[in-house]
């Protein structure tokens, strides 16, 4: 066996190894930077600061004050920018309300009329909060792929029901915003 070709092969292998390691490191760094950027909303954020809670949400989103059941301190919705249809609804109810009954009643009102659920997954967290809920995935109004997350948790004096409604095709653009909203909702008492 001629040692010269083996030495040349070893040099090529070392160069390949170094460039592979560099590629992997650069790819990992790029992924980490992009993941970190996804944590922040696109642009600046707005803040709602009310008696029982605070909420930061992306500037492009809007509070729907024209909803017929709008109550600034207890029942409000944050809508994604037009023409998107994603929203997050908050309903702050008295602590005396049984969370399991509230969740069950909400599920009955949504599963069927609002979404034909093809899958139902239990969820136990929304943002920083622990509680109970369901993630329904299927067809919104029996036609458009989407999902609805329903989640309830206890705070000191209230139960908080959160409903996230989305079309599947919008998630790639809005998931970071939804995550930002869930991470930036806080109860004061």
pLDDT in tens, 74-95: 999 999 999 999 999 999 988 8
**So what's the pLDDT on residue 43?**
67
Neighbours of 24 (CB within 10 A): 10
Q: What distance in Å separates the CA atoms of residue 96 and residue 104, rounded to the nearest whole number?
A: 16
Chain Cα centroid distance, residue 181: 7
CATH of the structural domain 45-187, one choice from 3.40.50.300, 3.40.1000.10, 3.40.50.720, 1.20.58.100: 3.40.1000.10
The pairing of strands 115-126 and 87-94 is: unpaired
- Region 111-140: what's the mean pLDDT? 96
**So what's the pLDDT on residue 97?**
82
**Which pTM does this prediction carry?**
0.76
**So what's the pLDDT on residue 44?**
86
Please state, rounded to an integer, the average pLDDT across all residues of the chain. 82
Name which of 184, 185, 163, 165 is nearest 174 in CA terms. Answer: 165
Angle, nearest 10°, between helix axes 168-183 and 3-38? 70
pLDDT at 34 over 60: no
Which bin fits 127, alpha (ψ -120 to 50), beta or left (φ > 0)?
left
Name which of 100, 112, 103 is nearest 138 in CA terms. Answer: 112
pLDDT at 9 over 80: no
pLDDT digits (tens, 9 = 90+) for 15-31: 444 333 333 333 333 33
pLDDT at 35 over 70: no
């Amino acid at each position: 066996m001629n040692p010269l070709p083996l030495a040349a092969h070893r040099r090529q292998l070392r160069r390949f190894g170094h460039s592979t390691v560099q590629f992997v490191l650069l790819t990992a760094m790029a992924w980490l930077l992009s993941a970190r950027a996804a944590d922040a909303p696109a642009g600046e954020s707005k803040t709602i600061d009310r008696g029982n809670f605070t909420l930061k949400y992306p500037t492009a989103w809007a509070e729907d004050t024209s909803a017929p059941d709008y109550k600034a301190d207890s029942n409000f919705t944050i809508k994604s920018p037009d023409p998107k249809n994603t929203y997050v609804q908050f309903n702050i109810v008295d602590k005396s309300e049984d969370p399991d009954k509230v969740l069950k009643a909400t599920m009955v009102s949504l599963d069927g009329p609002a979404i034909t659920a093809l899958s139902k997954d239990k969820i136990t967290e929304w943002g920083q909060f622990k509680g109970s809920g369901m993630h329904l995935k299927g067809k919104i109004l029996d036609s458009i792929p989407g999902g609805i997350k329903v989640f309830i948790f206890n705070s000191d004096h209230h139960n908080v029901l959160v409903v996230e409604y989305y079309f599947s095709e919008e998630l790639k653009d809005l998931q970071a915003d939804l995550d930002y909203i869930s991470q930036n909702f806080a109860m004061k008492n």
